[in-house]
Structure 1
């Protein structure tokens, strides 16, 4: 009886050991299978995916280029067209169309022409001012020198009055400003040289009169010389400040039978 129980216990123990061994073997096989299955996935994940990356980069590059081209085209479309009236030079020459380049060239040509016209006009005004006002041989300079000589001559101041109150002016006009009255003068050129003949009014506290002068600049000379210069005051004899031998009007001497008569 006892031997039978011992045998049954031994058989049970051996069966339990066998079951545990089988279980351990199954667990080990499942673990190895899992490791075997996970390894190819990890290896596959580490492999370089060259075609896919290339396609992704090309797609991204095309998107960027298309966006940049669209932005540039939108910028160009937003820019107003250049015309000769609104061109300020901010748009580079390379970005202009053919018509816009023509418009800019026309505007620059017009601006250059205006500058040249301004230079010519400025030069003309400067030349006129120098020859008519500032030049020592201009009419204004000769007029001023003649007035100074009249004020410095005591014979004239005795008739007209205080030299500081003597006024000289041109012909009578509707303009009440005496300095704006034109001085009557003529200029001519002949074989003798350049002639300048003028007359003007002189007024003082006591009387008034007329001044006459004739200037001549002979060829080769740089300055004018007086042919005559005198002042007529009504009721008084003519006062000569300069007198040439045969150029003073109204004072010529005639000849009869070879005899000079006053």
Structure 2
């Protein structure tokens, strides 16, 4: 039965990297706003626990975003279980902290395959189902490092810039089908990945907070608010655009 209240009433969303951090927060917020949610990740225990806590409007599935087979199964689960697919959030991602000299080809390609190839496969696999539902929204989670560079994260920065370009190309191609495609650009958000990066900066003698106009890192709940806006009909005239969520980091020193 479709839920009849909330900003995502009646919609079905598939969210990758949903076992913890921003992805889990997106799933919880979407369900609270009336959506039925497919949580996808490779952390089965954590992902299953989040889905169970949400309740009957959520289901967990294992999805390695590098796998075409896994993507096909996840989209089929959404349409079989809930009857449609309206929203895809390509949230899964990894980082690799090392200098360029110390980054192996295997290190680099692992980040490319998860962050960029995973996003591409998600768009390609989900778009037909979203189009069949009458259109909807694809949200690609990039980073503030898809807008500005950073040392010791070359693979991550490269993929996050590439996600910006992929988003724009997909927005142009899928717009006639009623599918909007936008990118989110979080800065330092209180997740394991962000904390690792901040700790590395501090060990190098830098104070990341010194540059930050708001003087604090963001919360996953705040990130979920932006994802909710982009998933909902409130952003119905936005596509191919960057939405920055960084506490003012990229505004300049």
TM-score, normalisation: structure 1: 0.22
Name the structure, 1 or 2, with higher relative contact order (CA <8 Å, separation 6+): 2
TM-score, normalisation: structure 2: 0.23
Rg comparison, structure with higher value: 1
